Amino acid sequence: MGREVTRRRLFRSALGGAAVSLCTPLLDMALDDNGAALAATGQPIPARFGTWHWGCGMNPDRWTPAVTGADWEPTPELQLLAPHKKDFSLFTGYAAMLDGRANEPHISAVWALRTGYAPKTKEDIQNPSFDALIAKAAGGGVRFRTLDMAATGRRTDSYSTTGGGALAAPELSPLDLYQRVFGSGFQDPNSSAFKPDPDIMLRLSVLSAFGEERAALLRHASASDRQKLDAYFTSVREVEQQLALQLEKPPPAEACVVPSGPPRVLPVSTEIEEVTANHKLMVDLTLMALKCNQTKVFNIVFSPSASTLRKAGSADTHHLLTHQEAVDPKAGYQPGATWFSQRSLEGLAYLIAELGKAKEGAGTLLDQILVYAHSDTSYAKEHALDELPVIMVGRAGGRLKTGLHIREEGAPVTKTALTAMHAMNLRVGSFGSQSLEVSQAIGQVLV
């Protein structure tokens, strides 16, 4: 017994009853680094993964290019991403199926996409999200398995869950994020001096002492309580692993430039200019956390589903506008609501541009990363569950093709999630349940 978490147990609790079947044991998988290595150190470059969420979708007829494949032309609503066309692939036509359950506006589709099951209510979210499965498999070996953040500063703005209904707790400001990553416990990978911290050694050994308590509790607990305890002990194990890592001299990270101090403290709110400013700072810190090997996985929420974004002085939020604003008869869309979704995409464009500037080895972070960007709906006015917008940024260590427009009208959106998992070398056999169950990834984009 003891403290050793068996693979089987960790594996079970990692999946927490997810509708996922695996071809190979999860923990045996190491990420393929595609042979790329940093010139200075010879260290393999790890693959990285992120998600990026914006709320209230877009207008499908102004978004979707007419042509699929590599020769698509950026449409009016994709103009902001046009300079980066070769660095992402666009997925259109995918849908969330509810299998007879009610469409819970702004909840059904986003959670169907993330967990493979469209919940009846927000309380019904039980399976782990696919980003958490990727983090479980690929996020190890660094201090933080994931970094979660919400540019809107609201702690409920999260679409990541390891299962059992517990959503990840996002960092709510650039300062929080800075302190988490570069505050206490941070070791500069490029510092020549390294001495293992005896306090950390002690903490590690003390944390490892939970074995007996674990056995005593689990012996007599009901199935649902055992699941909670399992999740708890898995969390303990994860912190143990973090501590163990801090006792080793970190490998040098040539692109790591430790921020000289905390970021500017800006007001945190849902006002669009403030969200944009905070998002930029969060992106900058996240990229540095990647380059300094502090994390390999992140989840950014630019704006939540049912977008709370607003303009100073206006009574209307982005979400309210999508429902109340009249469609401009000449333009054919809601100008106010569309303005917000374009401002959101501007945030994504910033992320892509910064990834492209982040040199690493012979290339940039764009070569190694996959950022899965999506929204909670397409045409928000109708809470549409079809034509869900998905964008995959980056080449995932050479496993993902970019520059393509892939269209599958009416196909389950879980297919895009499965594809992302495969691109990250998480070889799950299937993902999702009922009509959302898929076992075929989108082959055209995988290398």
Partner 1 sequence: MAVAADQPREPVVSIRRLTQDQYRQSIADVFGDDIKISGRLQPDPRREGLIAVGVSQSSVSASGFEQYDSTARDIADQVTDATHRELVGCKPVNAAKSDDACARAFLGNAGRLLFRRPLQSTELDRYVGLAGQGAVARKDFYRGISTSLANMLVSPSFLFRTERAVWDGGHYRLDDYSVASRISFLIWNAPPDEALLLAAEHGELGTPDGLRRQVDRLLASPRFEAGVRAFFADMLALEDLDTLQKDPTIYPRFNSKLAADAREQTLRTIVDTLVRRDEDYSALFATRRTFLSRTLGVLYGMPVTSRGWEAYEFPAEDPRAGILAQPAFLMAHAHPGRSSPTLRGKAIRELVLCQQVPAPPPNVDFAIVQNVQDPKFATARQRIAAHNTQAMCTGCHKLMDPLGLPLEGFDGGAGMRTTENGAVIDLSGDHNGKRFVGAPGLGSALAADPALSSCLVNRLYSFGAGRTPAADDSGWLEAIRASSVADGLKIRAVVRAVALSDEFYRPEPGDGSAEVAAGPSASAKDAKETPHGS
Q: Look up residue 15 and give its DSSP letter.
A: H
Cβ proximity to partner 1: between 103 and 342 the closer is 103
Q: Is 32 in the site for partner 1 (CB under 8 A)?
A: no
Q: How far apart are CA 239 and CA 26, in angstroms?
A: 19
Q: How far apart are CA 94 and CA 302, in angstroms?
A: 22
Phi then psi for residue 289, to 5 deg, are: -65, -35
Residue numbers 372-431 binding partner 1 by CB under 8 A = 381-385
For residue 197, the minimal CB distance to partner 1 (Å) is: 11
Q: Which two tokens stand for residue 72?
A: 């698509």
Residue numbers 98-117 binding partner 1 by CB under 8 A = 102-105
Q: Where are the alpha helices (DSSP H) in 358-413?
A: 365-368
Cβ proximity to partner 1: between 147 and 358 the closer is 147
Residue numbers 283-302 binding partner 1 by CB under 8 A = none
Cα dist from 327 to 307, 317, 400, whole Å: 18, 16, 38
Cβ proximity to partner 1: between 34 and 334 the closer is 334
DSSP bridge partners of 18? none
For residue 263, the minimal CB distance to partner 1 (Å) is: 18
For residue 340, the minimal CB distance to partner 1 (Å) is: 14
Q: Identify each DSSP E strand in 209-313 by its residue range.
A: 297-301
For residue 183, the minimal CB distance to partner 1 (Å) is: 10
Q: How far apart are CA 239 and CA 131, in angstroms?
A: 19
Q: Is 317 in the site for partner 1 (CB under 8 A)?
A: yes
For residue 39, the minimal CB distance to partner 1 (Å) is: 34
Size of the site for partner 1 (CB under 8 A): 72
Q: Closest Cα to residue 242, out of 320, 343, 147, 148?
A: 147
Residue numbers 200-239 binding partner 1 by CB under 8 A = 201-203, 205-207, 209-210, 212-214, 216-217, 219-222, 224-225, 227-229, 231-232, 234-236, 238-239
Residue 250-289 contact track with partner 1, rule CB under 8 A, x = bound: -------------------xxx------------------
For residue 241, the minimal CB distance to partner 1 (Å) is: 10
Cβ proximity to partner 1: between 195 and 220 the closer is 220
Q: How far apart are CA 303 and CA 275, in angstroms?
A: 8
Cβ proximity to partner 1: between 254 and 274 the closer is 274
Cβ proximity to partner 1: between 41 and 179 the closer is 179
Q: Is 198 in the site for partner 1 (CB under 8 A)?
A: yes
Angle made by CA atoms 243, 226, 25, in degrees to the nearest 5: 60
The interface region with partner 1, picked from 41-49, 78-86, 145-153, 402-410 by CB under 8 A, is 145-153
The interface region with partner 1, picked from 164-172, 252-260, 275-283, 345-353 by CB under 8 A, is 164-172
Cβ proximity to partner 1: between 43 and 208 the closer is 208
Q: Is 165 in the site for partner 1 (CB under 8 A)?
A: yes
Cβ proximity to partner 1: between 219 and 330 the closer is 219
Cβ proximity to partner 1: between 216 and 257 the closer is 216
Cβ proximity to partner 1: between 82 and 327 the closer is 327
Q: How far apart are CA 64 and CA 176, in angstroms?
A: 37
Q: Closest Cα to residue 360, out of 430, 426, 296, 424?
A: 296
For residue 304, the minimal CB distance to partner 1 (Å) is: 12
Q: How far apart are CA 303 and CA 126, in angstroms?
A: 23
For residue 126, the minimal CB distance to partner 1 (Å) is: 10
Q: Closest Cα to residue 438, out of 424, 420, 418, 423?
A: 418
Residues 6+ apart with CB under 8 A from 350: 279, 280, 283
Q: Closest Cα to residue 258, out of 195, 172, 183?
A: 183
CA torsion angle 93 94 95 97 (round to 10): 140
Of 53, 85, 280, 310, the one binding partner 1 (CB under 8 A) is: 310
Of 3, 12, 62, 154, the one binding partner 1 (CB under 8 A) is: 154
H/E element, 370: strand 369-375
The interface region with partner 1, picked from 19-27, 189-197, 324-332, 364-372 by CB under 8 A, is 324-332
Of 9, 12, 323, 427, the one binding partner 1 (CB under 8 A) is: 323
Name the one residue in this structure whose structure tokens are 């003891």: 2
Q: Which two tokens stand for residue 373?
A: 């960007």
What is the gyration radius of the CA atoms in the chain, in angstroms? 22
Q: Output the CA torsion sign for 371, 376, 378, 379.
A: negative
